[in-house]
Amino acid sequence: MTKEKLFLLAVFLLLAPLLTGGIMSINPATEEEELILIPAVKERNTGRKINEQIRRHFELPVDPLMQKRVEEIGEKLAAGTDRKDIVYRFAVLDNEKDDYYNAFAAPGGYIYIFRDLVEAMETDDSLAAVLAHEMGHVEARHSVKRMQGNAGVTLLMLLAGQMQTERGTYAAANRAIGQLMSAYSRHDERQADELSVKYMRLAGFDPNGAVAALETLRSLRKKAPRMRYRFYKSHPYLSERISYLKKFVRGYTDFDSYINLVPEKDGL
């Protein structure tokens, strides 16, 4: 038997018990039926390994008062989330070599925001919007679904018995970090935005902070020629998102926002 056939057989033997078991579940956050290839315990374990790697990549610690502010806001938001199998953890990251106006989430409830972005968010409502948006990605299992789709490498490493060694685990974590920092689809961004507004309201934050946060990021983007700007790489479609959020939060939109709205049939 050729190596290719052996590999395909291994994939089949790995996935068959999962698929034939009919592992379908309703996500309480999105109310959508999902195929679960990576269960919650695997999601949490993967997030823990990724967290170890992330903390090796970026400078720590940061200002303890800044960390405390982020944790307090994050904990208020977490109290109203839908997935009870997730315990959220929040960390402020720093990189003195570059400006990072970014935030991202790892599977299992690990939420990261860079110091530069915390400083750019002038109000707690805007900062809550950024954190809640990333929590929305976790609640909707967006990063996990992306890893499930990469059956050639990441899925096997997450589910197979090959992950017994620390070396293999960290290699998978490094690849996962790259996925977490890359672009989400328009659908995923909209879904995370909608969930962020929901969790902000439940926690007592003004959902208009979500609009303000994106407007701040758009302003930073305009200054891109004079500074290194990274947030846009993982969070595109700012004008579209601002337009949609104005309508979603306020029930109406202005003309400038209206022209940036994309029809539903275009993939939003």
In this predicted model, which residue has the larger pLDDT, 131 or 158? 131
Mean pLDDT value across the chain: 78
In which residue are the tokens 């967006």 written? 142
Q: Prior bond to 263 cis, omega within 30?
A: no
Query: And the tokens for 171?
Result: 């290699």
In which residue are the tokens 């790892």 written? 106
Whole-number pLDDT of residue 185: 84
Amino acid sitting at position 162: Q
In this predicted model, which residue has the larger pLDDT, 175 or 12? 175
Tell me the C-alpha distance between 195 and 31, whole Å.
12
Whole-number pLDDT of residue 64: 93
- Partner residues linked to 93 by β-bridges: 114
What confidence tier does 57 reach under pLDDT thresholds 50, 70, 90? confident
Half-sphere exposure of 41 (CA within 13 A, CB side): 1
Top mean-pLDDT range of 12-21, 51-60, 143-152, 168-177? 51-60
35-39 average pLDDT score: 80
Tell me the C-alpha distance between 85 and 6, whole Å.
36
In which residue are the tokens 């109000």 written? 123
Whole-number pLDDT of residue 75: 98
pLDDT digits over 6-32, tens only?
A: 555 555 545 554 444 447 889 999 999
What confidence tier does 2 reach under pLDDT thresholds 50, 70, 90? low
Per the CB < 8 A criterion, the answer to whether 109 and 100 are in contact is no
What confidence tier does 56 reach under pLDDT thresholds 50, 70, 90? confident
Tell me the C-alpha distance between 192 and 261, whole Å.
17
One-character DSSP codes across 116-142: HHHHH--SHHHHHHHHHHHHHHHHTTH
Tell me the C-alpha distance between 193 and 268, whole Å.
12
Q: Provide the CA 42 distance to its chain's centre, in angstroms.
A: 17
pTM higher than 0.85, yes or no?
no
Whole-number pLDDT of residue 236: 47
What confidence tier does 252 reach under pLDDT thresholds 50, 70, 90? confident
Tell me the C-alpha distance between 112 and 126, whole Å.
15
Least confident of 9-13, 40-44, 46-50, 77-81: 9-13
| Residue 136 backbone dihedrals phi, psi, to 5 degrees | -60, -40
Domain ranges across the chain: 19-266
Whole-number pLDDT of residue 266: 38
Half-sphere exposure of 129 (CA within 13 A, CB side): 28
pLDDT digits over 180-219, tens only?
A: 666 688 889 999 999 999 999 999 999 999 999 999 998 9
Tell me the C-alpha distance between 216 and 220, whole Å.
6
